[in-house]
Amino acid sequence: MRTFAQFEIIGRVGKHKDVGGTLRVSIAAEYGRKDDRGDFQSKPYWNEVTIFNENVAKWVRENTQPGDVVRAFGTVRQTQWENKEGGTEYGITMAAEDFDNFSQDERRRQARKGDQDQ
């Protein structure tokens, strides 16, 4: 039996950051809710995904920008390292293997509509 741990995030791009041979992309997922008065209260949660595949990283650099609505999909791994005091630290790496840009699709639709209007 094959086992795995996966993630999927649909949210808005914050920043791209090159780190070594990888690209890290921050993505905000919105978990807003209505307060007691019925007003919507925004509550974004930021997640950072790491892209190890150079072809995917290149595509993301060239085809996404801050504010775009994207979907990142990939595997989750627990990591550990030794801190300066000699203790063990733990973290999670979300390794994105697939990346889609929903905003890019909308820009294309708008561009086609503009071409038809002329």
Percent of the chain whose predicted confidence (pLDDT) is above 70: 95
Domain ranges of the chain: 6-117
Nearest to 100 by CA among 65, 72, 62, 58: 72
Give the model's pLDDT for residue 70: 96
Segments of 2-113 assigned E as strands: 6-19, 22-30, 33-34, 40-41, 44-51, 69-82, 88-101
Contact 91, 79 (CB under 8 A): yes
pLDDT at 4: 86
Give the pLDDT of residue 6: 95
pLDDT at 117: 63
Residue 114 CA to residue 83 CA, distance in Å, equals 55
User: Do the Cβ atoms of 23 and 5 come closer than 8 Å?
Assistant: no
Confidence of residue 63 (pLDDT cuts 50, 70, 90): very high
- CA 46 to CA 28: how far, in whole Å? 4
pLDDT on residue 50 = 97
For 65-109, what is each residue's pLDDT tens digit?
Answer: 999 999 999 999 999 999 999 999 999 999 999 999 998 777 777
- State how far the alpha carbon of 75 is from the alpha carbons of 3, 55, 81, 92, in Å: 11, 17, 19, 10
Cα–Cα distance measured from residue 32 to residue 30, given in angstroms and rounded to the nearest whole number: 6
pLDDT digits (tens, 9 = 90+) for 6-31: 999 999 999 999 999 999 999 999 88
CATH of 6-117, one of 3.40.640.10, 3.40.50.1970, 1.10.490.10, 2.40.50.140: 2.40.50.140
